[in-house]
Amino acid sequence: MARKIRLLFATPEAHPLIKTGGLGDVSGALPPALTSLGVDARILLPGYPQVLNALPLRRVRRNLSILSSEQPVNLLSGKMPDSGIPVYVIESPSLYEREGNPYLGSDGKGWADNAQRFAVFARIAASMATAQSPLRWHPDILHLNDWQTGLAAAYLAFDPGRCAKSVISIHNLAFPGTFPPHLLGELELPWHSYQMHGLEFYQYISYLKAGLFYADHITTVSPSYAQEIQQPELGAGLHGLLHDRNSDLTGILNGIDTGIWNPATDTQLEYRYSATRLAGKAKNRSALRKRLGLTDDAKIPLVGMVARLTDQKGVDLIPAMMKLLKQLPFQLAILGGGDKAIEKQLTALASSMHERLSLTLGYNEALAHQIEAGADIFLMPSRYEPCGLNQMYSMRYGTLPLVRSTGGLADTVTDATAAALHDGTATGFVFKESSAEALSECLQRAVALYAQPRAWRRVQKQAMTRDFGWEQSAKRYLELYRGLLA
Ligand code: ADP
Ligand code: GLC
């Protein structure tokens, strides 16, 4: 039997320890799915308080000097809750032990020392994949995620002792992780790396570009997004590089954790239900409406939305949509947080129509599950969406997604056209153009179908029985690793 592939999965967040968005979900679920396929998968995380306080951890190495300008750090080891996957944690009080968001201060701006925080993280990740690893265990594959880990591909590429291949997954190309070039010496990278064919990006150092340039392979989280990022519109200035490297670029659709996101077992719900026993769904809706102060009327569909409130998510289309659809019977429940200007705009809108629109600002995992279960329609009018997980959660919960045709949304939702309704493939509603008109027209179609309970139930069942588990996608990562090691 072939030896197990050893994988180090370096990620800045992993559910259930720390999560700001879908990357946390993916990092919590993909490594265990790979373990089930026989991979020796281990996770590397920064030692945020949320991680240190949640896990029993053992110090495995002390006083590792990583960058000469930074304090030495310790390496801890433990096991992830639930999955039991081995996790290594970098202990550094000055870099990681602070309250709040892992990337942003309370002013909403990136922490002033993010360059150092994620350089140290990346350098440890890379060093673990070399002959001088601080551990006896070293990986065959170093799997990186987004800008926070990108520099590791450069460190590894310049290390003569390297003994692993590197893969970087793009979860969101819009965050380049840029820092001023004078830091190059402090980062202990060779000066010649600072060029167009390297990690220079419009006169800055880009940690993401370092990853995209130096990694052996690039993946992203849906086939459509893999194509879109090679074009100027969604390429965020990196489309040229991605196009040049397109033979090393693979789109692999994310899966969902079907243990956590299962309406038949979800402990965050008051009533559990399934595709064959749907009665609990309506009860969850009544409970949710009560909680949110919305009138409970089964004839009026409830539209839900759970998202980071940023430009990406297309929330700015909502005020105009609400105006266009004044007469249409529906209610909207939004949970989210992020951009202060968007929060303010939605707050004003919600207070002007509190009988139709409920807004909950902030991060609330229980409410996110309750909206997935209690809503009839799930709204994702994203400008771009690398994959998107919520539309898959909502299908599983019988809450039909209404999405813009972009990235992973286009790859996972089948529009309820007359033909798709007829042949039994419809799972939601899809619109193309990023405009309030196109969105409104689509919501009108959804509300019209809602008024036909039998047709609605059929689509619900189709959506609920689609397989979005991790197994298929994990197999594709495994094939990719094998190919790189062959
Ligand atoms: P992204 O990663 O771009 O934010 P995804 O759809 O991939 O989008 O994943 C978002 C994840 O974060 C989902 O699990 C969603 O439920 C969760 N989420 C987003 N905003 C909130 C919030 N305000 N409260 C609770 N969960 C949230
Ligand atoms: C990003 C993307 C989202 C994707 C998630 C996990 O945050 O915005 O579309 O689902 O990463 O890959």
**At 10, is the secondary structure helix, strand, or coil?**
strand
Ligand nearest to the CA of 359: 1
Instruction: Say if residue 190 is preceded by a cis peptide, omega within 30 of 0.
Output: no
Q: Starting at the edge strand that comes first in sequence, how are the strands of the sheet with 204-206 ordered?
A: 178-179, 204-206, 200-201
DSSP letter string, 200-215: EETTEEEHHHHHHHHS
Which atom from ligand 2 is nearest to the alpha carbon of 312? 8
Rounded distance, CA 124 to CA 366, Å? 35
Query: Distance (Å, rounded) from C-alpha 387 to C-alpha 410?
Result: 9
Which of 375, 407, 379 lies closest to 391 in space, CA to CA?
379
DSSP letter string over 269-317? -SS---SS-THHHHHHHHHHHHHHT----TTSPEEEEEEEESGGGTGGG
Is 469:255 a contact under the CB 8 Å cutoff?
A: yes
Neighbouring CB atoms inside 10 A of 226's CB total 21
Q: 195: helix, coil or strand?
A: coil
Q: Among the CATH numbers 3.40.50.2000, 3.40.50.880, 3.40.50.300, 1.10.10.10, which is that of 6-255+470-485? A: 3.40.50.2000
What value does the CA radius of gyration of the chain take, rounded to a whole number of Å?
23
Give me the CATH code for the 279-464 domain, please: 3.40.50.2000
Please say whether the beta carbons of 153 and 211 come within 8 A: yes
Parts of the chain belonging to CATH 3.40.50.2000? 6-255+470-485, 279-464
The 3-state DSSP class for residue 401 equals strand
Q: Is residue 435 packed enough to be buried (19+ CB in 10 Å), middle (13-18) or exposed (0-12)?
A: middle
Q: Whole-model pTM above 0.75?
A: yes
pLDDT in tens, the chain (486 residues): 578 999 999 999 999 999 999 999 999 999 999 999 999 999 999 999 999 999 999 999 999 999 999 999 999 999 999 999 999 999 999 999 998 899 998 888 899 999 999 999 999 999 999 999 999 999 999 999 999 999 999 999 999 999 999 999 999 999 999 999 999 999 999 999 999 999 999 999 999 999 999 999 999 999 999 999 999 999 999 999 999 999 999 999 999 999 999 999 999 999 999 999 999 999 999 999 999 999 999 999 999 999 999 999 999 999 999 999 999 999 999 999 999 999 999 999 999 999 999 999 999 999 999 999 999 999 999 999 999 999 999 999 999 999 999 999 999 999 999 999 999 999 999 999 999 999 999 999 999 999 999 999 999 999 999 999 999 999 999 999 999 999
Structure tokens that stand for 441 in this block: 């027209």
Q: Note the residue count of the chain.
A: 486
Tokens representing 329 are 């019977």
Which residues sit with their C-beta closer than 6 Å to ligand 1? 21-23, 25, 306-308, 335-337, 363-365, 368, 387-390
Which of the ligands is closest to the CA of residue 21?
Answer: 1
For ligand 1, pick from 389, 403, 411 the residue to mutate: most ligand atoms within 8 Å of CB: 389
Tokens of 238: 């990196």
Does 252 sit in the ligand 2 pocket, CB within 6 Å?
A: no
CA of 390 to the centre of ligand 1 (A): 7
Cross-strand partners of 456? none
Q: Are 431 and 439 in contact (CB under 8 A)?
A: yes
Residue bearing tokens 């989280």? 221
Query: How close is the Cα of 184 to the center of ligand 2, in Å?
Result: 29
Say which residue the tokens 């390496």 belong to: 75
CA dist 408 → 17, 18, 297, 329 (Å)? 25, 23, 33, 29
